[in-house]
């Protein structure tokens, strides 16, 4: 028998809202945290949403940001749902009767091009109900609509500004849902973790969160200099048939045309042979980013230490396997290809990076070597540098490595393999090749353990046994048999 639901009302500073009470959890969907970025507000920074009269219905999921299908969906399974530029909304899952509950705000990944906080993948009901936390999942602008940087159109970083606007809304309204405004944890994966790293380095995020969990943060993807971003945008404008500065024409263009042009630009700019999977549109060195030319990992560590933000940071052991699996000729990767990837990622340090990759993982072939080089350059090295920098400044940081493997042999412990375990929503990934053939009860047991660890960190910073400290590095290794704490005597081999 399906559980019965009833409506529940909450009065917030923004106005009254009506959600659903279902099986010990209150759910509010599609709440606006900023004005719709449509018409004259396309390519404009988010503006506060004025309070509304009456009671706003929050019982149905809101549209996700406009996007096209990702190549990664071949492994993750399809993402479906209504799309609309009116997408600056968030969903809330709160335990029934919550009082001063920890708040966890999730920023989804998707290479700044795809994703949605309102997807079933990220349904927060189970985490809220079983772990006693409030889960908030915002949507934010993506692709050209969120990260195009071009003179006369946008200075860039609109998606990041949207995320900050969502956190401001949480600060001002979450108490109405039983949340503790002084105990907010942001957590995100891939592009979502990248955004959190940029927030850590930005004074604009002061006072908005107390803890942060960075999952597979691509620290190797530095914010682009504005001029470089402007030049990359030219390919997009060429496909649109516009001069780069024709802002008015771009604001009037159809969403379908914009999406088609951004896909074309992505295909033109991507260069896997050089290890370059950089999205066509990504964050730039501009407000709210305030660190100039400082490396992202260092700027984030300095900001976290200054604001005393507790941080958990980690990566999946074989991040690069997902990216290489998308290539049509992966089986044909040879030594020449691997050398080109190494040079593209590491430049003059390529030979040393290859030697380190072989010592660390003993890759059995050239394709596996490329995967390890991508893992190191984009995720692993930056995460370790961040942890060292933060701990050396007295910060509280925990490090983990996610070793749970996909049943698909070519994917192993790849990028995104952690996602099905975060919210306890194993069934939402039933069509994913990522988990195809895995034993359901075992996956569920692992998921409960991971949810418990993540929410435990949100409550109070987590176990001191796994703290990463100068001269005494300890890290969590999350595998099929559970989580163990290991001493990292040689970080180069971890």
Q: Above 60 in pLDDT, residue 370? A: yes
469-474 contact pairs (CB < 8 A, 24+): 469/391, 470/388, 470/391, 470/392, 473/387, 473/399, 474/399
End-to-end Cα separation, the chain, in angstroms: 48
Catalytic residue, from 319, 372, 405, 410: name it: 319
Q: Is the dihedral of CA 339, 342, 347, 348 positive or negative?
A: negative
Q: 0.85 exceeded by the pTM?
A: yes
Q: Above 80 in pLDDT, residue 257? A: yes
Residue entry with tokens 């040879």: 334
The DSSP string of 129-160 is HHH--EEEEE----HHHHH--BTTTB-S-HHH
In degrees rounded to 5, what are phi and psi of residue 239?
Answer: -65, -30
Residues 183 and 207: their CA atoms lie apart, in Å, by 10
pLDDT band at 3 (very low <50, low <70, confident <90, very high): low
Please indicate whether residue 116 is annotated as part of the active site: no
The burial class, CB within 10 Å (0-12 / 13-18 / 19+), for 328 is exposed
- What architecture does CATH give domain 5-493? 3-Layer(aba) Sandwich (3.40)
Contact 149, 155 (CB under 8 A): yes
Catalytic residue, from 85, 415, 447, 466: name it: 415
Residues 14 and 32: their CA atoms lie apart, in Å, by 9
Please give the radius of gyration of the chain, using alpha carbons only, rounded to the nearest integer: 22
Q: Above 80 in pLDDT, residue 467? A: yes
Contact 385, 296 (CB under 8 A): no
* Mean pLDDT along residues 256-271: 89
**Exposed e or buried b per residue across 152-173, where buried means at least 16 C-beta atoms within 10 angstroms of its C-beta:** ebbbbbbbbbbbbbbbbbbbeb
Please indicate whether residue 82 is annotated as part of the active site: no
* Mean pLDDT along residues 218-226: 92
Please indicate whether residue 29 is annotated as part of the active site: no
Domain boundaries, the chain: 5-493
Contact 67, 145 (CB under 8 A): no
Residue entry with tokens 């509010």: 28
pLDDT band at 330 (very low <50, low <70, confident <90, very high): confident
Residues 263 and 124: their CA atoms lie apart, in Å, by 31
Least-confidence region, from 200-209, 246-255, 309-318: 246-255
Catalytic residue, from 29, 190, 381, 447: name it: 190
Closest CA to 166 of 18, 36, 34, 49: 34
* Mean pLDDT along residues 422-440: 86
Instruction: Give the three-state DSSP class for 64.
Output: strand
Closest CA to 143 of 240, 213, 214, 212: 240
């Amino acid at each position: 028998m399906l559980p019965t639901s009833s409506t529940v009302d909450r009065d917030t500073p923004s106005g009254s809202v009506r959600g659903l009470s279902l099986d010990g959890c209150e759910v509010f969907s599609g709440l606006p945290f900023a004005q719709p970025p449509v018409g004259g507000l396309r390519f404009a920074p988010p503006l506060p949403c004025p309070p509304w009269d009456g009671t706003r219905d929050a019982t149905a999921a809101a549209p996700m940001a406009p996007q096209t299908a990702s190549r990664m969906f071949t492994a993750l399974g399809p993402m479906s749902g209504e799309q609309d530029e009116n997408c600056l909304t968030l969903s809330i899952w709160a335990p029934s009767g919550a009082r001063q509950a920890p708040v966890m705000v999730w920023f989804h990944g998707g290479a700044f091009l795809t994703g949605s906080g309102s997807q079933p993948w990220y349904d927060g009901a189970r985490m809220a109900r079983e772990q006693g936390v409030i889960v908030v999942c915002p949507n934010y602008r993506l692709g050209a609509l969120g990260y195009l940087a071009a003179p006369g159109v946008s200075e860039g970083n609109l998606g990041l500004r949207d995320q900050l606007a969502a956190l401001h809304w949480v600060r001002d309204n979450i108490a109405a849902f039983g949340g503790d405004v002084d105990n907010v944890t942001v957590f995100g994966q891939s592009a979502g973790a990248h955004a959190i790293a940029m927030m850590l380095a930005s004074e604009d995020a002061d006072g908005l969160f107390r803890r942060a969990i960075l999952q597979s943060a691509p620290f190797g993807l530095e914010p682009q200099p504005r001029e470089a971003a402007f030049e990359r945008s030219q390919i997009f404008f060429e496909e649109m048939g516009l001069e780069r500065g024709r802002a008015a024409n771009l604001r009037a263009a159809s969403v379908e045309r914009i999406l088609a042009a951004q896909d074309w630009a992505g295909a033109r700019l991507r260069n896997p042979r050089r290890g370059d999977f950089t999205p066509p549109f990504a964050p730039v060195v501009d407000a709210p980013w305030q660190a100039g030319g400082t490396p992202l990992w260092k700027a984030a560590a300095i900001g976290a230490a200054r604001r005393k933000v507790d941080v958990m940071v980690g990566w999946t052991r074989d991040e690069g396997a997902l990216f290489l699996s998308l290539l049509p000729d992966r089986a044909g990767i040879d030594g020449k290809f691997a050398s080109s990837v190494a040079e593209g990622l590491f430049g003059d340090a390529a030979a040393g990076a290859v030697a380190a990759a072989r010592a660390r993982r003993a890759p059995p072939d050239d394709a596996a070597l490329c995967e390890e080089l991508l893992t190191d350059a984009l995720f692993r090295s930056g995460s370790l540098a961040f942890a060292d920098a933060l701990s050396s400044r007295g910060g509280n940081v925990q490090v983990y490595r996610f070793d749970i493997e996909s049943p698909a042999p070519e994917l192993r412990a790849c990028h995104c393999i952690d996602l099905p375990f975060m919210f306890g929503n194993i069934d939402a990934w039933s069509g994913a090749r990522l988990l195809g053939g895995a034993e359901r009860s075992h996956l569920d047991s692992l998921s409960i353990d991971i949810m418990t660890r993540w929410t435990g960190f949100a409550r109070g910073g987590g176990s001191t046994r796994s703290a990463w400290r100068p001269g005494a590095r300890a890290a969590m290794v999350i595998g099929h048999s559970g989580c163990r704490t290991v001493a990292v005597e040689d970080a180069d081999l971890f």
